[in-house]
Amino acid sequence: HHPDKQAAEAAEAEAEERGRRFLEIHQAWKVLGNEETKQEYDLQQREENLTKEWPLHEQIYLEDMSWNEDEQLYTLSCRCGGNYSVSKSETKDVSLVCCDTCSLVIEILQ
């Protein structure tokens, strides 16, 4: 896809498409090549996929969840018997949490 690697006789539309595709790949590499931006991207994709695939069960405030000091983890029991868990370090970045046993999702409100 690199513009410099195109055949000289390539059609203008094809050259533009390859140039556009190269820029998309370059931008993706800038995001995924940096650990901080990759983590942010992964969290955004996770939340987007959760809302598409699983039903939102409930909205809950973080302070309504149980705090486990030893594990540095907020937890909430799900109606299926499983748990919703979010670590203290994730609380600023994560707003949707999936149950560890079923497909229900909660939204954590700040």
Q: What is the pLDDT of residues 63-99, one digit of tens each?
A: 999 999 999 999 999 999 999 999 888 887 778 888 8
Cα distance between residue 68 and residue 87, in whole Å: 9
What's the domain range around 100? 56-108
The CATH number of whichever domain residue 94 belongs to comes to: 3.10.660.10
**Tens digits of per-residue pLDDT, 18-51?**
888 888 888 888 888 888 888 888 877 777 776 6
Same domain, residue pair 64 and 36 = no
Cα distance between residue 65 and residue 29, in whole Å: 37
With a threshold of 0.95, does the pTM exceed it? Answer: no
Same domain, residue pair 45 and 67 = no
Number of domains in the chain: 2
Confidence of residue 102 (pLDDT cuts 50, 70, 90): confident
Beta bridge partners of residue 41, listed in sequence order: none
